[in-house]
Amino acid sequence: MGKVKEPDYTLNVFHHKDKETNVRSVVFLVQTTKVFVSFQYDILLQAKQEGDAVHIKVQGLHAPELLMPGSGPARGRLEFPHLQGRYKVIVSKQDKTVNAFEIDISKDDVKLLKSPEHPFIAASTEAVELR
């Protein structure tokens, strides 16, 4: 049996409250597992929410407008202000590879209910500091 390929991305889904507007939302933060040493790239994401499904398409990397030196993973961020209940999160890449997850969003918590066996994107409900 061949070696299992490590995920290319991580997906963190968590509650976040904006300090300026005081609005609560659910953040979907996609990051590369690869760390870039010269710049902090952005991940271009396309998303839509239909009923109990959230579709996220990873469209590639984008160099930041201000080329400030820095290191770290590439990041893409989506926020949905009114999600509550059970959702199927469907993530796809440009090569048409798809991973599907199930999450349960309550007022104060996000739980990961189901994940694919060998995903290209590893999901977590751990909150991550936003930059």
pLDDT tens-digit readout, 5-45:
899 999 999 999 988 999 999 999 999 999 998 888 999 99
Residue 102 has pLDDT above 60, yes or no: yes
Is 62 domain-assigned?
yes
Mean pLDDT for the chain? Answer: 92
Query: What residues make up the domain containing 121?
Result: 1-8+16-81+108-131
Q: Is residue 100 assigned to a domain?
A: no
Give me the residue label for tokens 């997906």: 11
This model's pTM is above 0.75: yes
Cβ atoms of 5 and 48 within 8 Å: the answer is no
Whether 111 contacts 117, CB under 8 Å: no
The reported pLDDT for the residue numbered 111 is 98
Question: Cβ-count burial of 5 within 10 angstroms (0-12 exposed, 13-18 middle, 19+ buried)?
Answer: exposed
pLDDT of 3 > 70? The answer is no
